[in-house]
Structure 1
Amino acid sequence: MLNKVPEVTIWFWIIKILCTTVGESFADWINMNLGVGLFNTALIFTGALAAVLAWQLGAGRYIPFVYWLTVVVVSVTGTLYTDILTDSQGVPLALSSSVFAAALAVVFGIWYARERTLSVHSITTRPRELFYWLAVLVTFALGTATGDWTLELTGWTAGVSVLLPLGLIVAIIAGRRLGANAVLSFWLAYILTRPLGANLGDWFGSPGGDGGLGLGTALTSAVFLVAILATVVYLTLSRRDVIEGQEPTGTPRALNPARERGMLVYYAAVAVAAASLLVWANHQPHAAASAEADTPAPVTGHISPQEATSPFPPAEIAKFRTITADTLAKVNSGDQRAATSRVTDLETAWDDDQSTLEPKSEKAWSFLDGEIDRVLKAVRAPHPDKPGEVDALDALLTSLG
């Protein structure tokens, strides 16, 4: 059959990163902002994945809209599967990263043993197409796990965290130009675009206080979706990414085998340098702060709920109470990712109202600020303790009346 994947041009990488970003932000919007929940969102996108993958497999040629829609849905689905393991089942990110890396190695091993090639220029049979999409799904899950693990180790903000995968991709581009194996370089870069796109989405959507641009998940999704549609329309009309020829069956002969072997040493050195950077970042002061966050500090200077809320407009107190109750419900349901996102809404709303609320009663504002801070530390702890989260949220609800 005709090759049903696009040519690997600059357009391929641009739209791949766009799809990854909108997949991350759109999933967060449905899961957290709309309150659908992690498991329900995963079920929705699993069904969507089955539908769009059937559409892609049934197509007789490469159709940009169908192919990239499949990539977006695979991106979201792979992310959700990782989030379920981490947030709902409590699987450590180090373990999930290792498991997904092993799974990807198995997929590539079986694929190569059967087809003798992993090149995207050779996706011309049904088995190869199935192997390709299975590998893509696992790369998204692996990229999500390793990206989140990096953030957990380093404590970097969303903006800073973009730099590591971006730097590694630049190193891969340099390696490819120096003679590294094309197929290996492609798949390494493909994996890294997942944390790069996700970090971009977080950077655009996160509040300014968290190091983001504050656009929110809905606006971020809309901006990147428009960019994707514009790029897909351009590629559909120009056919700039259509593979005209087909690669012969089997693995293409290396242009310079000695240089390819030498570049393996280069890639190993890059990996060691990246690991060393992560180890160094992990031992910076944020590690101590994260450890302290495991046990929220007690709130001092207790006052009654009436004293805490009476100086402030009832509508504002009701807003904080609603967000707190929503966060508590998500914690009780085991949806830690949704709870973490919802508690950010509490932080944003409280910070936005500080200029109007604090002058009304500095004592009441300081007390509630301390209780909200305790909630933020409990919910955002690297290893959240559910009883501690519930205790902090219950205490805040009591103070809010």
Structure 2
Amino acid sequence: MTGNVRETFKHAASKVPQVTLVFWIIKIAATTLGETGGDWVTMSLDLGYLIGSAIFAVIFLALVSGQIRADSYRPSLYWATIVATTTLGTTMADFFDRSIGVGYPGGVCIVFALLLASLGIWYKSQGTVSVQSITTPKAEWFYWITILFSQTLGTALGDWVAGSDRGGLGLGYEYGALIFGVCLAIVASAYLWTRMSRTLLFWAAFILTRPLGATLGDFLDKPVAEGGLHISRLYASLILLVFIIAGVAFLPQSPATSDEQS
């Protein structure tokens, strides 16, 4: 690898954080905020899933453009973009599940197909879907679009497992969170004690944290009769936002290197 290519690689990799326990704590909080915040816009403000998706799509595109133009890892910008993918993922999944009328299983199938297509096109274009391959603006776009679809799939999975309508399995929010928590523990065990592909495990964990956040978000704001705590979506979103801001400001984070992302 030449010196110029190495410097380019290092520069690009430094725009994302190290994947540590802190990363996953903030990520789960961000996905939970995506659920409560997305529902607040579409349901509490009664703007609907299509208009809500359009609003969050504009925010998502603006933040991704800013992330790509950035010359280094900026925690506040990175996590704002992550939150944008979670809120847009929530409204997109709800649009597929409810407005189009395909139900939870249909929504899962649609979004899963979109995620596979994103990964497939990314791999065909770049030869890898590893996070460490993000060395160009084109690869960064693939990264963020794939993250968006993974967040959307996670929302659809969470609703399918917890919900009792629209073809849902009806397991409830507590059991849904427990199921996805166990799945994440299995992925973590595979990371610690096997030689499975780090790229595969990263994307598996990234997808699974979203339905965990979705079920936690629903647990916070759904009525007590439906197994929730009935906290206002706005208040729940503000509490989570304060937690994320505090986490980004005070919990240790460092830009990743190519070795750390392999």
TM normalised by structure 1 equals 0.58
Give the corresponding residue for 1:118.
Answer: 129
Question: Displacement, 1:108?
Answer: 1.7
Amino acid at match of 2:170: G
Is the 2:97–2:106 Cα contact (8 Å) retained in structure 1? no
**Aligned counterpart, 2:63:** 52
The yes-or-no answer on 1:214 pairing with 2:227 is no
- Which ranges in structure 1 are unaligned for 5 or more consecutive residues? 253-401
- Distance in 1 of aligned mates of 2:254 and 2:227: 36
Q: Quick check: 1:161 aligned with 2:172?
A: no
Max Rg structure: 1
CA drift of 1:47 comes to: 1.4
- Higher-RCO chain (CA-CA 8 Å, sequence separation at least 6): 2
- The match for 2:258 is 246
TM (normalized to structure 2)? 0.87
Partner in structure 2 of residue 333 of structure 1: none
> Given the alignment, which residue of 62, 80, 83 partners 1:69?
80
Task: Report what 1:21 is aligned to.
Answer: 32
CA offset at residue 145 of structure 1?
A: 1.6
Q: Deviation per CA, 1:218-251: give whole Å up to 9, x if none.
A: 221111111100011125xx4x3311x3359xx9
Deviation at 1:209, TM superposition (A): 2.1
| Structure 2 residue 216 is the aligned partner of structure 1 residue 200 | yes
Cα distance change, pair 182–246 in 1 and its aligned pair in 2 (3 A): closer
Q: Is the 8 A contact 2:122 2:142 kept in 1?
A: yes
Counterpart amino acid of residue 131 in structure 1: F
Matches within 5 A, 1:319-330: none
Distance 1:9 1:52, change over 3 A: same
For the residues of structure 1 that align with 2:39 and 2:29, how far apart are their CA atoms?
16
Q: Find the aligned partners of 1:154 and 1:96 in 2 and give their Cα distance.
A: 14
The CA deviation at 1:32 is 1.7
State the alpha-carbon separation in 1 of the partners of residues 125 and 57 from structure 2: 28
Task: For 1:176, give the aligned amino acid.
Answer: Y
Equivalent residue number for residue 102 of structure 1: 113
Cα distance in 2 for residues equivalent to 1:87 and 1:103: 18
Question: CA offsets per residue over residues 3-23 of structure 1, 9 Å max, x none?
Answer: 221110001111111111111
* Helix, strand or coil at the partner of 2:72: coil
Q: Distance in 2 between matches of 1:146 and 1:202?
A: 13
Instruction: Let me know the Cα RMSD of the aligned residues.
Output: 1.9
Q: Structure 1, residues 94-146: CA drift from partner, whole Å, max 9, x if none? A: 22212222222222222223323222233222222111011101101111222
Distance 1:209 1:92 in 2: 23
Q: For this pair of structures, how many residues does the alignment match? A: 246
SS in 1 for 2:89: helix
5 Å-filtered alignment, 1:2-401, equals 2=11, 3=13, 4-151=15-162, 152=164, 153-179=168-194, 180-235=196-251, 238=252, 240-243=253-256, 245-247=257-259
Provide structure 2 residue ranges, at least 5 long, that are not aligned to the other structure: 1-7
Cα distance in structure 2, aligned partners of 1:203 and 1:96: 21
